[in-house]
Amino acid sequence: MDTTEELHGFVCDVARRAGELQLSRHEDPGEVREKAPKDFVTEVDLLCERLMVDAIRERYPDDAILSEEQGGSVSETGRTWLLDPVDGTANFMKANPMFCACVSVIEDGTVTHAAVAAPRLGDLYHARLGNGAYRETGGACSPLRVSGTETLEYCVVGADLSLYGGRTQEPGVEEVLFGAWQLRALGSAGIRGAWIAAGYLDVSVGTQNTVWDYAPTVLLVSEAGGRATDLSGEPWSLSSEGLIATNAALHQEILQVLNRT
């Protein structure tokens, strides 16, 4: 049986290898299919998924896997892998560098390992429960730490929003967005979460529940000194309706604004 360190190394390796495949095809996504309105999948999404799943199946054949494209299951008693082969597909389709591969492990409802490989940025973000969060870039590894911003009015908030068709947001979400100093819409929840952990952003607002994107954020941010909960302030879980991740100092204010109306 692998040690925790060996398992973590494998998590990072799977994310890194998927990122290398993305990088080799970043100007050639191959066949693109619209699987649902405004929701696309590329040939590279499927190739990365196959790479990830095959690697995990070979090394950990008894583990459960839940992946964005092929689906899967969550183990009630054992270990589950959550995979987003290409997070930021809309960016990837346009050769925009804001895309990544997300890998995380959940055990007994807790995210224990996570890795986000952003190959065009040259970064690998990873965290292991109780062991901190780190960024590897250019052959160097450095610890991550959330920002020191203390009030919403000075926040840089990350959120991925679609305003297509005049779609509006919940009043509390709009109040957070309009109350912030600046807004960033990166098009990648995985990178957004990693950037909260790195201190590049102060708050991340996620109003859906794409668990393969949110799970890495929960661990990276928590291990970097921040806080991640559902929209009501309860611990995030696989069934949560959304995710709020902050530098911890801002968390209570953000929750109060979100739930004011």
Reference 209, options 68, 40, 107; nearest CA is: 68
pLDDT band at residue 210, thresholds of 50, 70 and 90?
A: confident
Residue 168 dihedral angles phi and psi, to the nearest 5°: -105, 165
- Model confidence at 261, in pLDDT bands (50, 70, 90)? low
The tens digit of pLDDT for each residue in 55-95 reads 999 999 999 999 988 889 889 889 999 999 999 999 999 99
Q: In the sheet that 227-229 helps form, which strands lie side by side, from edge to edge?
A: 182-184, 156-159, 203-206, 243-246, 227-229
Tell me what the mean pLDDT of segment 2-19 comes to.
96
pLDDT band at 168 (very low <50, low <70, confident <90, very high): low
Would you place residue 163 in the very low, low, confident or very high pLDDT band (cuts 50, 70, 90)?
low
Residues in the chain: 261
Average pLDDT over residues 169-183: 88
Average pLDDT, the chain: 93
Going by C-alpha positions, the residue among 239, 164, 234, 174 that lies closest to residue 205 is: 174
pLDDT tens-digit map of 22-38: 999 999 999 999 988 88
- Please give the domain boundaries of the chain with CATH numbers for all domains: 4-143 (3.30.540.10), 152-258 (3.40.190.80)
* Residue spans of alpha helices (H) in the chain: 4-24, 43-59, 89-93, 171-179, 189-198, 211-223, 251-258
**pLDDT of res. 38:** 82
Q: How far apart are CA 241 and CA 238, in angstroms?
A: 9
